């Protein structure tokens, strides 16, 4: 984890942009303090629960990066009244008017970023839709604070190869830099130009005009990111410890007490070149067994088997033996657990237990 954090920080330092880590991956104050530039932030969150919990731990500079519902503005104002500079994200004039009205009613200018949909994968306005962009900007200016523009290259998760990832990063950059230019040319402010996804953060070669990069899963990495080519399997800093509870020898199965409740049901790698099942099975030191995956999972049962088509031998694991299972998706697997047990490298000694939270 420390190495993953240092790697992205060094990279973004050399590109001259600020890292605003997405704390939704860890939902842990202990991890957040290691991944943020300072205990006060900056940070990105995906729920107001995260905003509130991290604010309680001293974070003062937060973007709530999911489109704002007007019913959540009282909570935003409450956080701002506590001295937290929390900004919201939106992509409609309707939301902008609601934020401006709530700002005027409270006598507090709520900062908002306009979301650009750089690759058509989710929310945000289309790049180049100046009319919509300026309408939202002007609605905000009537009471709220137009803080800037924001985008997320979610489609980069499906890109393959350095060249494709660089193109995603450049499309991501250009979408918000162009939007910032449009706003500024119309006399509107746009101090923040925010991009971010772990694949593009690790592949962008030029971030001219961008002020900050958001990324989350880089802190732990996972099998999906290894499949994208952004990390190696040995960089993955999160695993689930499981115990062998049975065998079905004729079928080549080893049963463990980690099913989808422990791993999550994320099957993201099933669409990648290497389908990792529900996870890659390692020894206690974290070294993967050859072609051994969690092939299937029920709620509390996991079925370990050799990957289909492989000639690898099923390891000789007895009842009670323990294995580590690397996850497809660190954000999803982390969310199934109440805390992290911290180990150093291949050591088994638990040095600390870091709580994590969930909910909304």
Binding site for a second copy (CB under 8 A): 24, 46-47, 66-71, 91-92, 94-95, 98, 117, 122-123, 154, 243-248, 255, 257, 260-262, 264-267, 298-301, 303, 318-320, 331-332, 335-338, 358-360
Cβ contact 88:48 at 8 Å: no
Distance between CA atoms of 199 and 168, rounded to whole angstroms? 9
Cα angle vertex 97, ends 41, 108, to 5°? 50
Q: Which residues contact 148 (CB under 8 A, 6 or more apart)?
A: 113, 114, 180, 190, 191, 192, 193, 194, 211
Cis peptide before 42 (omega within 30 of 0): yes
Q: Cβ of residue 79: shortest distance to a second copy, in angstroms?
A: 17
The residue with tokens 């030029």 is 206
Q: Cβ of residue 295: shortest distance to a second copy, in angstroms?
A: 12
Q: Cβ of residue 357: shortest distance to a second copy, in angstroms?
A: 9
Q: Pull the structure tokens for residue 120.
A: 């058509």
- Measured from the CB atom, the residue of 180 and 303 that comes closer to a second copy is 303
Cα angle vertex 133, ends 129, 134, to 5°? 120
- Measured from the CB atom, the residue of 17 and 279 that comes closer to a second copy is 279
- Nearest CA to 81 out of 46, 117, 106 is that of 106
Q: Cβ of residue 31: shortest distance to a second copy, in angstroms?
A: 16
- Measured from the CB atom, the residue of 95 and 156 that comes closer to a second copy is 95
Instruction: Taking the CA atoms of 72, 73, 78 and 79 in sequence, report the sign of the dihedral they define.
Output: positive
Query: Kind of pairing, strands 85-90 and 111-116?
Result: parallel
- Measured from the CB atom, the residue of 68 and 231 that comes closer to a second copy is 68
- Measured from the CB atom, the residue of 17 and 240 that comes closer to a second copy is 240
Q: Cβ of residue 17: shortest distance to a second copy, in angstroms?
A: 23
- Measured from the CB atom, the residue of 138 and 337 that comes closer to a second copy is 337
Distance between CA atoms of 188 and 137, rounded to whole angstroms? 7
**Buried-exposed string 67-80: b where 16+ CB fall within 10 A, e elsewhere:** ebeeebbeebbebb
Q: Cβ of residue 245: shortest distance to a second copy, in angstroms?
A: 4
- Measured from the CB atom, the residue of 72 and 307 that comes closer to a second copy is 72
Q: Cβ of residue 28: shortest distance to a second copy, in angstroms?
A: 15
- Measured from the CB atom, the residue of 18 and 123 that comes closer to a second copy is 123
The separation between CA 24 and the C-alpha centre of its own chain, rounded to angstroms, equals: 6
Q: Pull the structure tokens for residue 92.
A: 């409609």
Q: Cβ of residue 264: shortest distance to a second copy, in angstroms?
A: 6
């Amino acid at each position: 984890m420390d190495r993953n954090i240092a790697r992205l920080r060094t990279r973004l330092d050399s590109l001259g942009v600020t890292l605003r880590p997405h704390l939704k991956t860890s939902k842990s104050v202990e991890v957040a303090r290691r991944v943020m530039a300072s205990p006060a932030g900056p940070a990105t969150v995906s729920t107001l629960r995260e905003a509130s919990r991290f604010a309680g731990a001293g974070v003062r500079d937060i973007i709530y990066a999911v489109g704002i519902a007007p019913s959540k503005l009282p909570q935003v104002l409450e956080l701002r009244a506590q001295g937290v500079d929390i900004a919201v994200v939106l992509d409609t004039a309707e939301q902008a008017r609601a934020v401006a009205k709530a700002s005027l009613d409270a006598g507090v200018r709520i900062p908002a970023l306009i979301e650009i949909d750089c690759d058509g994968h989710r929310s945000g306005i289309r790049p180049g839709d100046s009319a919509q962009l300026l309408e939202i900007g002007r609605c905000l200016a009537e009471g709220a604070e137009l803080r800037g523009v924001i985008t997320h290259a979610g489609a980069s998760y499906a890109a393959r190869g350095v060249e494709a990832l660089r193109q995603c990063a450049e499309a991501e950059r250009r979408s918000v830099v162009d939007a910032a230019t449009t706003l500024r040319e119309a006399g509107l402010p746009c101090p923040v130009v925010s991009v971010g996804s772990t694949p593009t953060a690790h592949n962008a070669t030029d971030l001219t005009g961008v002020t900050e990069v958001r990324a989350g899963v880089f802190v732990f990495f996972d099998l999906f990111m290894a499949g994208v080519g952004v990390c190696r399997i040995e960089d993955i800093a999160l695993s689930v410890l499981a115990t062998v509870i049975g065998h079905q020898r004729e079928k080549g199965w080893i049963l463990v007490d980690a099913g989808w409740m422990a791993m999550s049901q994320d099957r993201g790698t099933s669409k990648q070149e290497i389908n990792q099942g529900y996870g890659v099975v390692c020894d206690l030191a974290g070294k993967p067994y050859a072609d051994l995956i969690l092939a299937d999972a029920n709620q509390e049962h996991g079925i370990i088997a050799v990957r289909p088509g492989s000639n690898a031998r099923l390891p000789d694991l007895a009842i009670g033996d323990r294995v580590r299972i690397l996850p497809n998706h660190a954000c999803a697997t982390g969310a199934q657990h109440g805390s992290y047990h911290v180990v150093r490298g291949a050591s088994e000694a638990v040095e600390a237990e870091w709580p994590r939270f969930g909910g909304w």
